Amino acid sequence: MKIINSQEITNAVTELCARANYELPSDVLLALQNARQDETEPAKSVLGEIIENAGIAAKEKIPLCQDTGTANFFVKLGADVKISGENLIDAVNKGVSQSYKENYLRKSIVSDPLERKNTQDNIPANVYVEEVAGDKIEITFLPKGGGSENASMLKMIDPAAGWQGVKEFVIQTVKEKSANACPPLIVGVGIGGDFSTVAKIAKQTLLREIGSRNKNIDYAEKETELLKEINSLAIGAMGLCGKTTALAVFIDAKPTHIASLPVAVNIQCHSCRRKTVVL
């Protein structure tokens, strides 16, 4: 049994929150650079500004976007790990609170959705824990901005509609919402589960690297099909028209009830910030 003190988790989370908000992942940056090469004006200039912004943020250690998001953590907790000190959730929240205060990251969480009083430290975080084999803790941080989250949708589709119904819903969501979500986008699609799990399925797909393919060949082909159709909408970078409305489409599917076909679309903006640490 490996013992990890909760302070180690807090320290790791404090650093994750800062670095993820300053450093655009290399796969996202490469996808933006490749998209720019194939674009015409004004999309080419817009993508150039996005790429320049990423360079400045990394060099100056300032946020890629003023919206430093809701703090989402996907944790793989080894079965042979024991956490001493505080519990996992408290340790993560402590790290978020420290980092958002110390690094002057915007605090965007209100304690009540109607009273709208800011918590002043961006907590509570959303912490999703999966128990796995081994003696390590893998923590992945995904700060999710409000603009892209507000463009996300969930629908309980008639199972008889099948893939065509799913595809139409995804494309319609992008068509209606994407211009307000700072494209080019990463589009996460969850299919199956139930009402309470399908949204998480969609959001978790955003952790995949751009260029990766679904391990299921059928879903890999569906990802390619959706990406092609979304880009044919020509909404383009920042909604100013162009060839690249989305950089990637990621799908994950889970078992579901015989009477149900839940589908969730979790939109991510071009500033797809994510970072992982293993303890």
Based on the fold, state whether residues 265 and 246 are members of the same structural domain: yes
Instruction: Say whether pTM exceeds 0.75.
Output: yes
Residue (of 159, 167, 195, 179) closest to 267 by Cα position: 179
- CB count, 10 Å around CB of 129? 13
Tokens 């892209």 belong to: 148
Based on the fold, state whether residues 267 and 133 are members of the same structural domain: no
129: in domain: yes
Mean pLDDT, the chain, rounded, equals 97
Confidence band of 3 (pLDDT split at 50, 70, 90): very high
Backbone angles phi, psi at 57, to 5 degrees: -60, -45
Q: Looking at residues 14-30, what average pLDDT do you find?
A: 98
11: in domain: yes
Listed in sequence order, the residues at least 6 apart from 67 whose beta carbon sits closer than 8 Å to its beta carbon are 106, 108, 145, 146, 147
Least confident range of 90-94, 122-126, 177-181: 177-181
pLDDT the model gives residue 15: 98
pLDDT the model gives residue 206: 98
Instruction: Tell me how far apart the alpha carbons of residues 19 and 66 are, in angstroms, rounded to a whole number.
Output: 14
Based on the fold, state whether residues 90 and 151 are members of the same structural domain: no
Boundary residue ending a domain (144, 163, 188): 144
Based on the fold, state whether residues 192 and 80 are members of the same structural domain: no
pLDDT the model gives residue 39: 94
> Domain tally for the chain?
2
Q: Which domain holds residue 228?
A: 147-272
Tokens of 244: 């690249």
pLDDT the model gives residue 274: 97
